[in-house]
């Protein structure tokens, strides 16, 4: 079992470590996403199949995609709760204003509340994903992956313009993180779309 969990954990750790050189986020780091996704998917499937002894179990593409996304989101929740000021796991440490807020207890209290609010919302979302993976039928899973694709794409309607403006204004460290984050989001959308196509073809 450890032979599956070790590479799974290592892939997640590597995925969340920012690669920074001369203050610039390296976009090449996120081109490793497909490799990491493939490795983690293989680990999850092998581990799941080994758990159910004497039975042939094949996880469908959507379940694997949801499991992977749930694990990554859980790591983000842990970072937001335990180390919100870090620059790993898509935390808020990338925003210079977070450190500046500490000089004003009232503002920092509000920021901390909002960070915990986001983490709590993500946690609810993760639990719902677990329920869908375990009990969801084919129609539920297809709708879930389509809903994920749509909801993630809304990032580019409000959040991306905002973080890009802050990045251009020098309010984010490292400079260029908004572009890196945008590439990562696109990779997730492509991954979910591929999972949906594979699931529909296999069905």
DSSP label of 24 = E
Q: What is the average pLDDT score of the chain?
A: 79
**121 vs 41, residue with greater confidence:** 121
Lookup result for tokens 């919100």: 84
pLDDT tens sequence across 93-135: 999 999 999 999 999 999 999 999 999 999 999 999 999 988 8
On whether the CB atoms of residues 88 and 76 are closer than 8 A, the answer is no
What residues have CB less than 8 Å from 12, skipping those under 6 apart? 40, 71, 72, 75
The pair of structure tokens assigned to 152 is: 């993630």
Q: Using DSSP, state whether 137 is helix, strand or coil.
A: coil
pLDDT at 7: 47
Could you identify the residue written with the tokens 């986020």?
Answer: 25
pLDDT classification of 90: cutoffs 50, 70, 90: confident
Q: Which residues, in sequence order, are CB contacts of 60 under 8 Å at separation 6+?
A: 141, 199, 202
Instruction: Write out pLDDT tens, residues 55-83.
Output: 434 468 898 899 989 999 999 999 999 99
Q: Please give the average per-residue pLDDT across 189-202, as a whole number.
A: 90
Distance CA 92, CA 163 (A): 11
Inform me whether the pLDDT recorded for 171 exceeds 80. Answer: yes
C-alpha neighbours within 13 Å on the C-beta side of residue 123: 11
What is the pLDDT confidence band of residue 3, given thresholds at 50, 70 and 90?
very low
**CA terminus-to-terminus distance, the chain:** 30
Render pLDDT for 12-34 as a digit per residue (tens, 0 to 9): 554 444 444 444 444 444 444 45
Please indicate, yes or no, whether the overall pTM of this predicted structure exceeds 0.75.
Answer: no
Residue 137 has a CB neighbour count (10 Å cut-off) of: 8
């Amino acid at each position: 079992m450890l032979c599956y969990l070790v590479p799974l954990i290592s892939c997640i750790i590597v995925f969340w470590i920012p690669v920074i050189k001369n203050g610039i986020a390296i976009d090449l780091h996120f081109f490793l996403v497909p490799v990491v996704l493939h490795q983690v998917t293989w680990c999850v499937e092998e581990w799941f199949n080994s758990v159910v002894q004497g039975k042939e179990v094949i996880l469908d593409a959507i379940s694997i995609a949801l499991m992977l996304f749930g694990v990554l989101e859980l790591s983000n929740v842990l970072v937001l709760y335990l180390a919100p000021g870090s620059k790993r796991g898509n935390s808020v440490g990338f925003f210079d204003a977070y450190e500046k807020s500490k000089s004003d207890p009232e503002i920092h209290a509000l920021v901390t509340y909002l960070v915990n609010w986001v983490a709590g919302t993500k946690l609810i979302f993760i639990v719902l994903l677990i329920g869908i993976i375990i009990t969801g039928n084919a129609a539920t899973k297809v709708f879930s992956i389509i809903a994920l694709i749509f909801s993630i794409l809304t990032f580019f309607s409000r959040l991306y313009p905002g973080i890009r403006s802050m990045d251009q204004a020098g309010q984010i460290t490292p400079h260029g993180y908004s572009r890196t984050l945008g590439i990562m989001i696109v990779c997730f959308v492509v991954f979910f779309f591929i999972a949906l196509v594979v699931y529909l073809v296999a069905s």
